[in-house]
Amino acid sequence: MEPAPDRVDQVWRDLALAGEAAGARSIADLFRLEPDRLSQFTLEGAGIYLDLSKHPWSRSDHGLAIDLARAAGVEAARTRLFAGEAINTSEHRPALHMALRAPGDQAFHALGEPVSGEIQATRRRMGDLATAIRSGAHGGGNGQAYEAIVHIGIGGSDLGPRLVWEALRPLSPQIDLRFVANIDPSELSMALDGLNPARTLVVIVSKSFTTQETLINATAARSWLRAALGAGGDQQMIAVSAAPDLARAFGVPEDQVFGFRDWVGGRYSLWSAVGLSCAIALGPRVFEALLEGAAAMDAHFQSASLEANLPVQLALAHVFNRNALNRPVRAVVPYAQRLRLFPAFLQQLEMESNGKRVDKLGRPVRHLTAASVFGDAGTNGQHAFFQALHQGTDVVPVDILAVAEPMAAGEAAHTGLLANAVAQAEALMVGRSADRVRADLEQQGLSAAEVEALVPQRTFPGNRPSSFLILDCLSPERLGALIALYEHKVFVEGVLWGINSFDQWGVELGKRLASVVLPELEGAAAGDHDPSTADLIRRLKR
Ligand code: F6P
């Protein structure tokens, strides 16, 4: 169904009214008022269980949200996404990250051009190289097998592979994988520390192959290889880019350059050769399983009704909080130390995709867009920012993720981890009333004066919403499905807000000004800056 503008406006208005009522209601009471609430607000797909019942939306609010998705044309937009139409309107490109992970028998087209053949060829090439490196058939300059990879990239050329490695890496990897993103030379020096250049592979990942941080780090890494191995050091470089000519000009051997197309967004690119270092260090079968998991979520997203669709429902829960309840921040807390990088990955995925202030036609947006996302692994976050989540002045919705099966030896500790995840979601919602706190304190024998002084400090307002996601295990398949879930959640939000989720013009100005400031820090004549900037340049001049 194509968007129906008048209907969309009406539903947005109705949703705003619903939000006013929802903000004042007790979430816990909704379970009493709606006996079948759990069945209404829980769903499962591609191996992920999603509980959205601890949000302040009633059954009718939920119906409104689904109406919004229908009226906004989510289904038609989804069709255009998978059909490879130019939905990235400012760059006139498709957004076809799903094609990268599709089964071999699924044909994708980009602007009408068949692309699945080249994708499958790249996947085979990746698998062959990974197998050859892991077997030692393809080794360093003096024939020694590689024992380490240094992956150099930033943003989408870093965050996804870094997350995948941390989530799936074996305890004693055959090949160690280290990441360098920051222009701060300390990250490269820490990554190279203790490595044998003759047994180290440098993988340079950059869609544009013009990103300053990556080029500076790659140049330093190339010098490190050449210092130890001479010109032959270049043979130990691999490049992944949508600009392969620039990679070859940098000195990467022709047959070690992997390309990908410009219709793969950086923050959506881990499924391409951008994930090559993971395919090598984890093994090609693990990487293929990651792709299969994401493809399973793609199939779910394409086929499930709006009511039973995990990306759609998660988007609606987030939009209800963001827009109907005006909540500008969201926390993400994976109760899995191996997923501690997931919040950082989502910061780019969500805030670089949907941190927009104009719609696809250049008009100021009519609804608030991307929430600010932050988080850390649970239980660590409980000892950092959960005080604010429970008793702060702002209501911050939380995505809590749990993995049913232990991710390491230690059944009792893992059960404790799960208990904390479940209990935090419960505590956020039910809180602790002043009466209950008073009774607790009186039972402890405190004086009346002490009790009254402490009651306000120890009362929990509750009514703090959370989405609860369960992965049965942290397998490559489930990780792929989880990441794809949020990719499509972001897409649905973009459709609801009428924005382009696939460009990122907002990152350009800072880069441009940095190129002006840099020479001034190196001694060039001062440029035309505001007093503060001019003072900072003076103070930091080298
Ligand atoms: O942050 C801006 C950005 O362009 C991201 O979109 C991208 O993932 C990152 O920089 C790195 O870009 P590249 O892969 O071209 O080096």
Residues linked to residue 114 through DSSP beta bridges, in sequence order? 109
Return the structure tokens found at 30.
Answer: 């909704």
Return the structure tokens found at 346.
Answer: 């989502």
Say whether 192 sits in a helix, a strand or coil: helix
Minimal-distance CA residue to ligand 1 atom 16: 206
User: In ligand 1, which atom is closest to the CA atom of 274?
Assistant: 14
Give 509 Cα–ligand 1 centroid separation in angstroms: 14
Return the structure tokens found at 381.
Answer: 């976050």
Say whether 345 sits in a helix, a strand or coil: helix
The pLDDT, as a whole number, for residue 4 is: 75
The pLDDT, as a whole number, for residue 40 is: 97
| pLDDT tens figures, 109-158 | 999 999 999 999 999 999 999 999 999 999 997 889 999 999 999 999 99
| pLDDT tens figures, 328-381 | 999 999 999 999 999 999 999 999 999 999 999 999 999 999 999 999 999 999
* Residue 358 DSSP class: B
The pLDDT, as a whole number, for residue 141 is: 79
DSSP assignment of 114-148, as one string? E-HHHHHHHHHHHHHHHHHHHHTSS--TTSPPP-E
Residues linked to residue 67 through DSSP beta bridges, in sequence order? none
Arithmetic mean of pLDDT, 296-305: 98
Minimal-distance CA residue to ligand 1 atom 9: 155
Give 265 Cα–ligand 1 centroid separation in angstroms: 9
Catalytic annotation, pick one of 85, 213, 352, 493: 352
Distance CA 129, CA 118 (A): 16
Give 94 Cα–ligand 1 centroid separation in angstroms: 17
User: In ligand 1, which atom is closest to the CA atom of 266?
Assistant: 8
Distance CA 36, CA 3 (A): 31
Contact call for residues 56 and 23 (beta carbons, < 8 A): yes
Distance CA 537, CA 542 (A): 9
User: In ligand 1, which atom is closest to the CA atom of 214?
Assistant: 16
Give 155 Cα–ligand 1 centroid separation in angstroms: 5
| pLDDT tens figures, 476-516 | 999 999 999 999 999 999 999 999 999 999 999 999 999 99
- Which of 306, 319, 349, 344 has its CA nearest to residue 467? 319
Minimal-distance CA residue to ligand 1 atom 6: 266
Contact call for residues 162 and 256 (beta carbons, < 8 A): no
The pLDDT, as a whole number, for residue 521 is: 96
Return the structure tokens found at 228.
Answer: 């130890």
The pLDDT, as a whole number, for residue 252 is: 98
Give 512 Cα–ligand 1 centroid separation in angstroms: 14
Q: Is 387 exposed, middle or buried (0-12, 13-18, 19+ CB in 10 A)?
A: exposed
Separation in Å, CA 46 to CA 82, 246, 301, 345: 18, 39, 9, 21
User: In ligand 1, which atom is closest to the CA atom of 213?
Assistant: 16
Give 154 Cα–ligand 1 centroid separation in angstroms: 6
* Percentage with pLDDT > 70 across the chain: 100
| pLDDT tens figures, 7-59 | 999 999 999 999 999 999 999 999 999 999 999 999 999 999 999 999 999 99
Contact call for residues 43 and 51 (beta carbons, < 8 A): no
Give 247 Cα–ligand 1 centroid separation in angstroms: 16
**Sign of the CA dihedral with 74 first, then 78, 80, and 81 last:** positive
* Paired sense of beta strands 237-241 and 148-152, if any: unpaired
Contact call for residues 396 and 374 (beta carbons, < 8 A): no
Which among 500, 504, 505, 512 is the best mutation to test ligand 1's pocket, defined by most ligand atoms within 8 Å of the CB? 504
The pLDDT, as a whole number, for residue 359 is: 98
Return the structure tokens found at 192.
Answer: 């190279």
Which among 180, 207, 272, 349 is the best mutation to test ligand 1's pocket, defined by most ligand atoms within 8 Å of the CB? 207
Distance CA 37, CA 30 (A): 8
The pLDDT, as a whole number, for residue 238 is: 98
Distance CA 134, CA 117 (A): 26
Those residues with Cβ within 8 angstroms of residue 288's Cβ, 6 or more apart along the chain or in another chain:
123, 127
Mean pLDDT, all residues of the chain: 97
Minimal-distance CA residue to ligand 1 atom 3: 155
Minimal-distance CA residue to ligand 1 atom 10: 155
CA 266 remoteness from chain centre: 12
Give 419 Cα–ligand 1 centroid separation in angstroms: 39
Helix (H) or strand (E) segment spanning residue 365 = none
Burial letters 326-349, b for 16+ CB under 10 A, else e: ebeebbbbbbbbbbbbbbbbbbbb
* Paired sense of beta strands 113-114 and 109-110, if any: antiparallel
Return the structure tokens found at 75.
Answer: 């289904």
Contact call for residues 330 and 389 (beta carbons, < 8 A): no
* Paired sense of beta strands 466-471 and 48-51, if any: antiparallel
The pLDDT, as a whole number, for residue 95 is: 98
User: In ligand 1, which atom is closest to the CA atom of 208?
Assistant: 15
Which among 182, 507, 508 is the best mutation to test ligand 1's pocket, defined by most ligand atoms within 8 Å of the CB? 507
- The binding-site residues of ligand 1, defined as CB within 6 angstroms of any ligand atom, are 154-157, 206-208, 211, 214, 266-267, 352, 504, 507
Distance CA 104, CA 117 (A): 8
Give 211 Cα–ligand 1 centroid separation in angstroms: 7
Burial letters 162-174, b for 16+ CB under 10 A, else e: bbbbbbbbeeeee
Distance CA 114, CA 12 (A): 38
Give 207 Cα–ligand 1 centroid separation in angstroms: 7
Distance CA 13, CA 417 (A): 41
The pLDDT, as a whole number, for residue 61 is: 98
Contact call for residues 390 and 428 (beta carbons, < 8 A): yes
Rounded to 10 degrees, the C-alpha dihedral 230/234/237/239 comes to 150
Q: Examine the residue annotation and report whether 511 is marked as an active-site residue of this protein.
A: yes
pLDDT at 1 over 90: no
